[in-house]
Structure 1
């Protein structure tokens, strides 16, 4: 329906355009005027050429309307692709009308003819109307929404043709254009709190622009005082005024720049804060599917680029716009004819800026993407430098990073070529405009329509206007570059987590009764692969439950679901009869604590790492947790005790020390559910014994989940769950499972036999694997994935 309305309106407008233009052209004469004007056409007196413009406008609009009516699916896209060409035609139409006005202005009788003035005004209005209606016609693909399903089916069956693809690209381009203005508006909306500072900056901006606008005017006065009046008094007064204006302008410019810098520095802080807070609330799957380098690139380089580009370009845009407006008023007051000559070139410059801005925006997005890829390689390599060094792969990693930089350089070359072409067209346009103004201005001086000083002032104004317009065009490019980076930042800020942490339950009692009820789970990055398949089991408070099984069976996935890192595709994970996602996030994780096999410590002090998430924890509780984790003795032996830094990811501590700090971090919460994922694997036998005794004493009335490969840990568990290939295959105590002779029995036998073979090779005293000290088997665990996979 909407398409039919727009097409009908376009056809009506074309008919009205033809009728009104013809009536104004004929203005009461007979139609024989066409034949007479054609036979004796004089461009300086005839208006037949203005009437001819309506033929072009009507043909364009009528043809496009009929095309969209016949092909409502592809027609709007094709119309959109021709939008720039039609805009140029309509602008040429208006420019020619202005030139015609200047031609007829030499004849006073024709200049003030009401029929000519009416025809001139209608020509300009009709040209603008044609561009507007063309854009409406190009933006009508959504109007055929009732056919979209059928069309989508046809495309899936028949394939998408090349024209359809170009049409889709055009639609996306239109959407991006509409988003650019909204993005800039949103960025400026974040500055509402600084409205007072912006008001001060705008005041100094106006003061500076007004002073600069008067300078060429008084320059012309000074020249007239020398050339015409030849009086020192007439010359000195404008010079004094020029000096004062220049001084005031410079002071105002300094204040304006400083206030704008402060305002947009605060914008940078707000953007970073909003982005980081949004990232902190994303689901774990988001960080699985997005590389750390990409995320940090948004947080660092993109936010900086947004604030810097927006601050510089908004400042420059406002200054140039206000200055251009004041200059234009002075120019029009000096000579409206020269002013018309000047503005004839503006529409073409605007079209060039638009095309260049769109292309540059696309290239900027590509550069940001390529830079993020390069940062990803760099961060991944630097964070795993020990692995890179151990495999002597430094040169290959350097080559990989260099190849990413080369990809970015290819896009940079495209930017350079685009910029060169833009500057070439800009300078050529400016030169042509200056020559035209000088030529026509000389004609006006020679015909005594203006003085020589006024012409000089006008030329100075034109030069400054060109500088202001050039600044505005460069501002547009910079703004598009900032918009390209801002859209990526807002993409993360606006992203809603797929697994939200909006639970509200916070019961007064929390027992720790865990139940997996028909749970089926697949990771978001691999949705087609089920890691857990219809798993059901219960964990009771006061019991230690061990999860064992071959690597990749789903043990850690159970922990992730219990920690509410992910949501199962089917089934439920219940704690005390409530789904885990129904609990308040902070409340739930104050009751559930996890100690991983490779715990992550932050580059802070030992005290801050133990009290992580509990900033108000007293020192007594921190020390008590460290003692229970058998970490107090080595902590007080550090250079600054509990105030000692641990380095990035705890690199200044050994593996065993990191695990003990992580255990203390869990114990300080006095959790009702404690999850230990190989939590003592890096401890020696004595430390492990002490820590396990402390855990046993503290967790008697709580739920403990253990993932362990050491038989000494597993065989003491109250309940053992054997998980293999996503299925719960066995459940029971150690003796029961050994008696069954199933998978658990085979895993134990493999571990024992593997130890006996190792003993025969090295001739040590016979001892089971679970009694070996950590330093005796650490190198094997670090260097052999096969040994790890053979364990539970």
Structure 2
């Protein structure tokens, strides 16, 4: 809401509060409507009138502070909301005490103006809290417009000037968004929406019988003390026995129902989260660690279902009992009920402050624990590398440091819990003493029977236990809500580039692929263009090779063809249609990729080859395996095609995994086949046999080969050389060799074994054979260049 509107509303509220409070005060005293016995209470009534000036002073001061400091004022007002709530609760408590004091003097019917002042004090105190929150949430529209104009001017000055000012803009946006916090009640309500189908079971779980038990205790005591009759005493005792049996049965039913309902919540929440993750763009997985995602999917979801189910069960039981107890307490004595209820808001305020603080700590614990899980997951998955560098101790210390951060947060949680329990117990004892004292006064004055006082005190004690139980489980409930908010962060995330947004599904596909002036940068490095105006064409039935130095943009072209990312400008077309406009399943049924490092799943060989296909025959699987030269080694496994390949294909060699991956691509019979270093892990014999097999299936397909070995590209129909994100040259092998430019130099370096030419400028490409390095040395140099991480230029 606009700041000026809120300040104006506060001014009107202040004026109306002062006028109405003064009117009620003056009318009560000036017209002789106050009995003579009330004269001694005039100071109490004047104090109620003084509360209006206190409320007005607070609102006026808050408005002045916000108007003088429009940037940080609302944020500071929002932070001081608990203090304003405390003041309002003190005023309401004082008004209730004044009401009880006035009832001791005369009937309430003769104190209409004083009752009006008391009622208005309670109403205006609530209004104070509401106006305080509005001030905290207010926004300065004029300031926002100025910020918008500044941002527009910054965009017009150019990208470099804009980047230099981005940190300031981010701080401004952070300052504006800081007051907006997640509502715990809304999060809990959203969790319960997942249980909507089980609402009937949850209704059964609200049945209770315990609220009637203390009432019949009082009836039984009165039958002995007042009536001294065993006949009257036996009837409430039988009713108590029946209620005890029914209450035990209801408790068992409620526990079973909650266990079942929240087991279904776990199932639905985890399924929804996993499906949401599957819809995210590839850039999302580039930015987020695998350990963090797995922590949300497993630990956080389990914590949500376990903590919420356990604590909500207790919370709901206590809340229902508390409601029933309150009804019976007001039925027995409304005066004692007001006294007992005066202390509950203060206990509730302490619980809210503690819950908010504990929720913040819980989020920090979950984030830190996710960091620890990421370290553990990264270490375990790369155990061979850790062992080869003898860094076990270093990884253990890194993991232990993360655990120490979690422990420090747990220590803060323990301290906060101790302070919270101390304040709750102190408030509870003070409340019991106040009720006992005032209740004794009512019994002595004949306004309440002794049995009713005992029943009321039992109700109050059990109500205190219910509230204490609700407060204690509130901690666990907020912990579950904190974990749920982290889960909902992913559930609410819309992918920046959804794979499901394409709708076109042509009847035919020839396999013509075009790159038209494509410029691209990765989401993790938006200001670094890895492709700059790239244009080339892949023709059906032709083999096109992408070559160039490492980091030149070859794999980025493959990612764009697979629709993993969107280019910043330009288009990638399949048969004249942008790949992002094609239906997801259609695109990947026509375009198949065999990557440099194939990923196999912990399933059988047959399931890996047919991965993603719902209906495929055994004959087609074997045919694809034969074409990839994988059938013979698969049959030699102890269970043939039913053999499990282990986690990430650990039971197979690198060459075997690569051939299974090629078979997985060929079984789809794609129109476009992408081989990104597809034969890099094979020995010379296997590579030759696979290439011979691929030659027969390449004739009617569009094939893109990304390779460094000369043997993989020299027979290609067309070669595209990419250097620093641009197409340096393209043509056939013979044409490019005749030009003696980039491609010629790359070939010469591989033939001569001079991959380190860039580091040795004194060595020329036309040096004599006797100046070449030794055979072993050259082989080692070539082998060291097989990894993508090397920065030396290769094919």
Work out whether the TM-score is over 0.5.
Answer: yes
* 1:62 Cα deviation from its structure 2 partner: 3.2
* Distance in structure 2 (CA, Å) of the matches to 1:76 and 1:429: 32
**1:98-113 aligned within 5 A:** 98-109=96-107, 112-113=110-111
- 2:770 and 2:629 map into 1 onto residues whose CA distance is 34
1:192 maps to: 196
User: How is 1:539-618 mapped onto 2 (pairs within 5 angstroms)?
Assistant: 539-618=538-617
Structure 1 residues 696-750: Cα deviation after superposition (integer angstroms, max 9, x where no partner) = 0111121111112222222111222222221222222222222332222222222
What is the rounded CA distance, in whole Å, between the counterparts of 2:680 and 2:171 in structure 1?
57
Q: Contact 2:70–2:140 at 8 Å: present in 1 too?
A: no
Q: 1:734 to 1:120 in 2, by over 3 A?
A: same
Kindly state the Cα deviation for residue 80 of structure 1 after the two structures are TM-superposed: 2.5
More divergent stretch after superposition (3-12 vs 312-321)? 3-12
Q: Is the 8 A contact 1:26 1:33 kept in 2?
A: no
- In structure 1, the partner of 2:21 is 21
What residue is the counterpart of 1:379 in the other structure? 377
The CA deviation at 1:389 is 0.9
Indicate if the aligned counterparts of 2:300 and 2:487 stay in contact, CA closer than 8 A. yes
- 2-side partners of 1:698 and 1:718: how far apart? 15
Indicate conservation of the 8 Å contact 1:72/1:144, yes or no: no
- Which is worse superposed, 140-149 or 696-705? 140-149
Name which of 240, 253, 268 aligns with 2:251. 253
The whole-number CA distance in structure 1 between the counterparts of 2:617 and 2:151 is 65
- Find the residue that maps to 2:439 and give its secondary structure: helix
What is the CA distance between 1:41 and its match in structure 2? 7.8
Rounded to whole Å, the distance in 1 between the matches of 2:144 and 2:172 is 22
1:505 aligns with 2:504: yes
Q: Distance in 1 between matches of 2:682 and 2:26?
A: 102
Alignment of 1:141-290 (within 5 A): 141=139, 143-144=141-142, 147-149=145-147, 172=177, 174-177=179-182, 179-201=183-205, 205-206=206-207, 208=208, 211-290=209-288
Q: Distance in 2 between matches of 1:134 and 1:659?
A: 66
Indicate how the Cα distance of structure 1 residues 657 and 85 shifts in structure 2: closer, same or farther if over 3 A, else same: same
> How far does the alpha carbon of each residue in 1:46-92 deviate from its partner, in whole angstroms, 9 at most, with x for none?
52222222221222223334444555554433433332222211211
Unaligned runs of 5+ in 2: 155-161, 755-768
Asked if the contact 2:74–2:136 (Cα under 8 Å) also holds between the matched residues in 1, the reply is yes
Relative to structure 1, the CA distance from residue 717 to residue 31 in structure 2 (aligned partners, 3 Å threshold; closer, same or farther) is: same
Question: Which residue matches 1:538?
Answer: 537
Structure 1 window deviating more from structure 2 (84-93 vs 615-624): it is: 84-93
Q: How many angstroms apart in 2 are the aligned matches of 1:234 and 1:715?
A: 108
Farther-moved stretch of structure 1 (694-703 vs 678-687): 678-687
> SS in structure 1 opposite 2:567?
coil
- In the TM superposition, 1:716-755 aligns within 5 A as 716-754=715-753
CA contact (8 A) 1:101 1:111 kept: no
The residue that corresponds to 1:483 in the other structure is 481
What TM-score do the two structures reach when normalised by structure 2? 0.90
**Secondary structure, aligned partner of 2:535:** strand
1:135 & 1:419 partners in 2: Cα distance? Answer: 27
- Displacement of 1:145 in angstroms is 6.1
Structure 1: runs of 5 or more not aligned: 770-775
Q: Tell me if the contact between 1:105 and 1:111 (Cα under 8 Å) persists in the aligned partners.
A: no
What is the CA distance between 1:494 and its match in structure 2? 2.0
State the Cα deviation string for residues 199-242 of structure 1 (Å, max 9, x = none). 333xxx22x2xx11111122233344455555544444333222
Cα distance change, pair 366–155 in 1 and its aligned pair in 2 (3 A):
farther
Query: Equivalents in 2 of 1:8, 1:576: separation in Å?
Result: 63
SS in 2 for 1:259: helix
Mapped contact 2:108–2:115 kept (Cα < 8 A): no
Do the aligned partners of residues 785 and 187 (structure 1) sit closer, same or farther apart at CA in structure 2, a change above 3 Å counting? Answer: closer
Measure the CA separation in 1 of the matches of 2:334 and 2:745. 98
* Distance (whole Å) between structure 1 residues aligned to residue 149 and residue 472 of structure 2: 42
- The residue number in structure 1 matching 2:128 is 130
State the Cα distance separating 1:457 from its structure 2 match.
1.8
Compute the displacement of 1:276 (Å): 1.2
Separation of aligned partners in 2, 1:244 and 1:173: 55
| 1:141 partner SS | coil
Q: 1:690 to 1:22 in 2, by over 3 A?
A: same
Asked whether the equivalents of residues 541 and 703 of structure 2 are also in contact (C-alpha less than 8 Å), the reply is: yes
CA, structure 1 residues 301+757, in 2 after alignment: closer, same or farther (shift >3 Å)?
farther
Counterpart CA distance in 2 for 1:109 and 1:225 is 31
Cα displacement (A) at 1:9: 3.3
In 1: Cα distance, 2:446 partner to 2:590 partner: 92
Q: Distance between the aligned counterparts of 2:283 and 2:273, measured in 1?
A: 18
Q: Judging changes above 3 Å, is the alpha-carbon distance between structure 1 residues 656 and 451 closer, same or farther for their aligned structure 2 residues?
A: same
Separation in 1, partners of 2:289, 2:528? 21
Return the alpha-carbon distance in structure 2 between the equivalents of residues 46 and 730 of structure 1: 94
Partner of 1:63: 61
Alpha carbons of structure 1 residues 153 and 110: separation in structure 2 relative to 1, 3 Å: same
Quote the offset at 1:464 in angstroms: 0.9
Corresponding residue number in structure 2 for 1:648: 647
Query: Does the CA-based 8 Å contact 1:77-1:168 persist in structure 2?
Result: no
Note closer, same or farther for the CA distance 1:251–1:457 as it changes in structure 2 (3 Å cut). Answer: same
Contact 1:44 1:103 in 2 (8 A): no
Match of 2:341 among 336, 340, 343: 343
What is the CA-CA distance between 1:101 and the residue it aligns to? 1.8
Q: Shift in Å at residue 316 of structure 1? A: 2.7
- Alignment pair present for 1:84 and 2:82: yes
Q: Partner of 1:176: helix, strand, or coil?
A: coil
**Closer, same or farther: CA 782–212 of 1 in aligned 2, 3 Å:** farther
Aligned to 2:758: none
Aligned equivalent of 1:773: none
Which whole-Å CA distance do the structure 1 matches of 2:150 and 2:442 have between them?
A: 64
Could you tell me how far apart the structure 1 residues matched to 2:772 and 2:223 are?
110
Is the CA contact 1:550–1:790 (under 8 Å) kept in the aligned structure 2?
Answer: yes
Distance 1:166 1:726 in 2: 36
CA distance in 2, matches of 1:393, 1:675: 38
Distance 1:180 1:410, change over 3 A: same
Once residues 337 and 524 of structure 1 are traced to their aligned partners in structure 2, the CA distance between those partners, rounded to angstroms, is 66
Match of 1:94 in 2: 92
Work out whether residues 752 and 772 of structure 2, in 8 Å CA contact, stay in contact via their aligned partners in 1.
no
In structure 2, the residue matched to 1:631 is 630
How far apart, CA to CA, are the structure 2 residues paired with 1:595 and 1:611?
Answer: 14
Matched, 1:619 2:618: yes
- Does structure 2 retain, via aligned residues, the 8 Å contact 1:629–1:663? yes
| Alpha-carbon displacement from aligned partner over 1:753-785 (angstroms, at most 9, x marks no partner) | 229899975689xxx97xxxxxx9998678996
2: CA distance between counterparts of 1:180 and 1:72? 28
User: 1:146 Cα deviation (Å)?
Assistant: 5.6
Q: Deviations over 1:84-129 (max 9, x none)?
A: 2222112111111111122222223578522222222222222222
- Give me the whole-angstrom Cα distance separating, in 1, the residues matched to 2:152 and 2:76: 20
- Quote the Cα distance in structure 1 between the aligned partners of 2:603 and 2:289: 24
Residues 583-617 of structure 1: per-residue CA shift (max 9 Å, x gap): 11111111111111210001111111000111211
Judged with a 3 Å threshold, the aligned counterparts in structure 2 of structure 1 residues 221 and 167 are, in CA distance, closer, same or farther, namely: farther
Q: What is the CA-CA distance between 1:24 and the residue it aligns to?
A: 2.3
Assess if the C-alpha contact under 8 Å between 2:2 and 2:140 holds in 1.
Answer: no
Change over 3 Å in CA distance of 1:354–1:763 after alignment to 2: closer
Distance of 2:234 and 2:172 partners within structure 1: 65
Name the structure 2 match of 1:702. Answer: 701
